């Protein structure tokens, strides 16, 4: 099923979602950029779907919050802090690369073993995706088939057709969300315009990773001097780990809570670029050199994921390239290792 939503109707549609008792997350302007935030009824006018890339990956931030309390321990009793079914969440305007990144996170968190915290949040989540209507020189989703359009993994999906959005239904949950909100049915012209938009955006994407036989090439390059060379430039800051929508590692910490006399066990995002990450008891460290840590980051995405989870671990969102203070570019690393770039 497909419908048409006039752009001036978007605030009403947002209100409709909130009225169905969903906590709504959507992109709003913050200075020159967009940032996903929780929107209440009075802020629906701020929702702005005209963006290419947010700094943080919205679905990762929702499903695995940067800091999440898992257990509360008091007087020998352990309480699991699982989000309840009342915490229904809707996310509006999330691009295909980010939805595909979440599909990858599901392979990590929903299988062998299931993570009950991730699962509870995922079950509570409804996804209103947004096909891309623009791209910049850091986008390379077409290399992984993760954008600029999306065929599955959403409940509803919008496409910007200038003065209106095409709204397509991807699941029963999505159809139920529309419910009694009236939208005219889409015509074949609307659908053709969508295809035209996607074609146009594909043409805008100039950056590529050649994935053919990539695993063999990456494994063959484990001792390539490029890793030492990159380690001279890399600051080791871990920003790439934070902004990557598929980086899923966390650390677990215990903190005493002063007022209640209990101890909180939380998990916080961690990153393989950090010294502490591969450190073990008595100070041993499996990745003492920064070069080994950069090699791990790049190889995990472009090589190890395939054996681990059956897909490459990059969706081509361009965030690590955009946010690196040292301007290190994962696509040019791969190109150099393939001999496609000097």
> Which residues lie near other proteins (CB under 8 A)?
30-33, 35, 54-56, 66, 231-239, 241-243, 253-256, 258-259, 263, 268-271, 274-276, 290, 293, 322-323, 325-327
Do residues 255 and 264 touch, judged by C-beta distance below 8 A? yes
Q: Which is nearer to other proteins, 135 or 234 (CB)?
A: 234
* Closest distance of CB 309 from other proteins, Å: 24
Do residues 342 and 229 touch, judged by C-beta distance below 8 A? no
* Closest distance of CB 196 from other proteins, Å: 33
Do residues 58 and 317 touch, judged by C-beta distance below 8 A? no
Q: Which is nearer to other proteins, 28 or 214 (CB)?
A: 28
Q: Which is nearer to other proteins, 54 or 100 (CB)?
A: 54
* Closest distance of CB 277 from other proteins, Å: 8
The CB density around residue 87, as the number of other CB atoms within 10 Å, is 13
Q: Which helix (H) or strand (E) holds 102?
A: helix 96-109
* Closest distance of CB 45 from other proteins, Å: 21
* Tokens of residue 65, six digits: 């919050």
Q: Which is nearer to other proteins, 175 or 251 (CB)?
A: 251
Give 241's contacts (C-beta < 8 A, 6+ positions apart). Answer: 247, 249, 269, 270, 271, 272, 273, 274, 297
Q: Which is nearer to other proteins, 139 or 328 (CB)?
A: 328
What sign does the CA torsion over 183, 186, 187, 189 have? Answer: positive
* Closest distance of CB 262 from other proteins, Å: 11
Q: Decide: helix, strand or coil at residue 100.
A: helix
Cα 58 to Cα 98: distance, rounded to the nearest angstrom: 7
* Tokens of residue 175, six digits: 């159809």
* Closest distance of CB 283 from other proteins, Å: 11
* Closest distance of CB 112 from other proteins, Å: 28
Give 287's contacts (C-beta < 8 A, 6+ positions apart). Answer: 272, 277, 278, 293, 296
Cα–Cα nearest to 4, from 197, 193, 171: 193
Name the residue with tokens 């599955």. 152
Question: Roughly how many angstroms between the first and final C-alpha of the chain, as a whole number?
Answer: 49
Q: Which is nearer to other proteins, 250 or 309 (CB)?
A: 250
* Closest distance of CB 168 from other proteins, Å: 29
């Amino acid at each position: 099923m497909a419908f048409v939503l006039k752009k001036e109707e978007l605030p009403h549609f947002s209100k409709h979602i909130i009225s169905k008792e969903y906590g709504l997350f959507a992109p709003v302007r913050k200075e020159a950029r967009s940032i996903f935030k929780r929107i209440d009824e009075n802020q629906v006018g701020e929702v702005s779907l005209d963006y290419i890339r947010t700094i943080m990956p919205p679905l990762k931030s929702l499903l695995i919050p940067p800091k999440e309390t898992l257990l509360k321990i008091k007087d020998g009793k352990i309480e699991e802090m699982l989000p309840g079914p009342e915490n229904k969440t809707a996310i509006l305007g999330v691009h295909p690369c980010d939805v595909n990144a979440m599909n990858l996170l599901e392979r990590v968190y929903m299988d062998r073993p299931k993570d009950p915290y991730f699962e509870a949040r995922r079950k509570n989540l409804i996804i209103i995706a947004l096909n891309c209507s623009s791209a910049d020189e850091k986008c390379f989703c077409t290399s992984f088939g993760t954008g600029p359009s999306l065929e599955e993994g959403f409940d509803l999906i919008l496409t910007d057709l200038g003065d209106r959005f095409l709204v397509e239904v991807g699941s029963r949950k999505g159809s139920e969300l529309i419910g009694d909100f009236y939208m005219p049915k889409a015509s074949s012209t609307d659908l053709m315009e969508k295809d035209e938009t996607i074609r146009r955006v594909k043409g805008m994407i100039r950056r590529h990773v050649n994935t053919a036989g990539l695993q063999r090439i990456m494994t063959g390059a484990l001792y390539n001097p490029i890793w030492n060379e990159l380690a001279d430039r890399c600051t080791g800051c871990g920003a790439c780990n934070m902004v990557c929508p598929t980086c899923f590692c966390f650390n677990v910490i215990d903190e005493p809570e002063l007022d209640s006399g209990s101890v909180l066990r939380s998990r916080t995002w961690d990153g393989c670029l950090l010294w502490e990450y591969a450190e073990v008891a008595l100070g041993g460290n499996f990745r003492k050199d920064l070069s080994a840590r950069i090699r791990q980051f790049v190889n995990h995405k472009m090589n190890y994921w395939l054996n681990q989870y059956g897909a490459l671990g990059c969706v081509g969102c361009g965030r690590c390239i955009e946010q690196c203070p040292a301007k290190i570019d994962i696509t040019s690393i791969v190109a150099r290792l393939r001999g496609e770039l000097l």
